[in-house]
Amino acid sequence: MNEEIKQQQKEYNEKMNEDEINLMDYWRIISKRKKGIMAIVLIAVLITGIISEFVLPKIYEASGLVEIAKIKGENLMNPADIITTFKEEATLSEIGEKMGWNKENQKDKEKIARLEESLIISKDEKGNLLKITALANTPEEAKKIVEATNEVLIARHQKRFEGAEKLITAEIETITQEKEKTKKDIEKIGENLARINQDIANYEKEIAKRSDIQSEGQGRIAESYINLLAQAKNQKESEEAQILELEQKLVGLEQSVQQKEYEKTYETTMTRVVASPTLPTSPIGPRTMLNVFIAAILGLFVGIFWAFGAEYVEKNK
């Protein structure tokens, strides 16, 4: 058993020595060809830097904020639907027209196609603001794309907004007409009440005259006046109940008009630009420093691979 343990220990030590030798060999190869590796890294960094600064086109970003139209406090359109609509070819073509691009021209056609990626629309957390961002090769073009998008969005919402606003106005007019009719009904019933009160006064006067009944005929006349008086009082109660009901209805109608007026004035607003795009002063891309860093990492890997490859070729000559 002791011999087996010693044998295993011996094999383990030999393996560890081999690993140490291999690691030392790797380090020796890298040290031997470090100048070549550094040259490859330097070349990769220089080429990437030159391409990023002088070959790749500059990318400028402009953005603005638009508040979505509201009808009675609710968005005229769902922000997600707006974002989807502005990815459609017809909408992008409309923006291209605002930019003065001709769909028949190949270059302009390509610009319109690129809008799907270069035009970015996002919503805020509350969902009532849209951030419109455009990427372009010049500051002027980036700003103009945002402005053109704002124009298309507002123009599309204008038709819907006007239709919705007309509906609210029609609702207010209908309620106002009903309110005026209710007022007239109250006035009419009030006139009837005045007549009924006069009749009641007359009946009571006639009954009072016949308080001392001398004959059967007078008794019958008095009885008829009493019946008429009872009918008049019942009618008066009915008319007063109608007036009370109509007055309550009138209060409700007036509240409805005030609510609709408030909704129209304060909760119904057209799509508007909250923050206009400004001319960007510096490009956001290409990101030269990031590109150079990535090139340096890749160059290092390529350099190490070249070092081991060169060592292998040299040994096998």
Domain map of the chain by residue range?
Answer: 58-165+269-281, 169-266
> If you ran DSSP here, which 8-state letter would residue 169 be given?
H
Average pLDDT estimate for 216-230: 81
Rounded Cα distance, 121 and 139, in Å: 18
pLDDT tens across 240-263, in order? Answer: 999 999 999 999 999 999 999 999
Cβ neighbours, 10 Å, residue 42: 13
Band of pLDDT at residue 221, cut at 50, 70 and 90: confident
Q: If DSSP codes are grouped into helix, strand and coil, which group holds residue 135?
A: strand
Kindly tell me if the per-residue pLDDT of 17 is higher than 50.
no
* CATH code given to domain 58-165+269-281: 3.30.1890.10
Q: If DSSP codes are grouped into helix, strand and coil, which group holds residue 163?
A: helix
Q: Is-above-0.85 flag for pTM?
A: no
Question: Shortest CA distance to 154 belongs to which of 270, 265, 72?
Answer: 270
Rounded Cα distance, 173 and 179, in Å: 10
pLDDT tens across 132-170, in order? Answer: 999 999 999 999 999 999 999 999 999 889 999 999 999
Average pLDDT estimate for 285-299: 92
- The CATH topology of domain 169-266 is Helix Hairpins (1.10.287)
Return the pLDDT at 312. 81
Q: Where are the alpha helices (DSSP H) in the chain?
A: 2-32, 34-50, 79-85, 89-99, 106-118, 139-209, 216-266, 288-315
Question: Shortest CA distance to 172 belongs to which of 257, 238, 88?
Answer: 257
Helix (H) or strand (E) holding 67: strand 60-67
Kindly tell me if the per-residue pLDDT of 131 is higher than 70.
yes
Whether the Cβ atoms of residue 229 and residue 200 lie closer than 8 Å to each other: yes
Question: Shortest CA distance to 195 belongs to which of 232, 229, 221?
Answer: 232
Whether the Cβ atoms of residue 56 and residue 292 lie closer than 8 Å to each other: no
Q: One fold for both 58-165+269-281 and 169-266?
A: no
Q: Say what percent of the chain tops pLDDT 70.
A: 90
Whether the Cβ atoms of residue 146 and residue 277 lie closer than 8 Å to each other: yes
pLDDT tens across 22-56, in order? Answer: 677 778 888 888 898 899 999 999 999 999 888 88
Which tokens in the block code for residue 111?
A: 């610009």
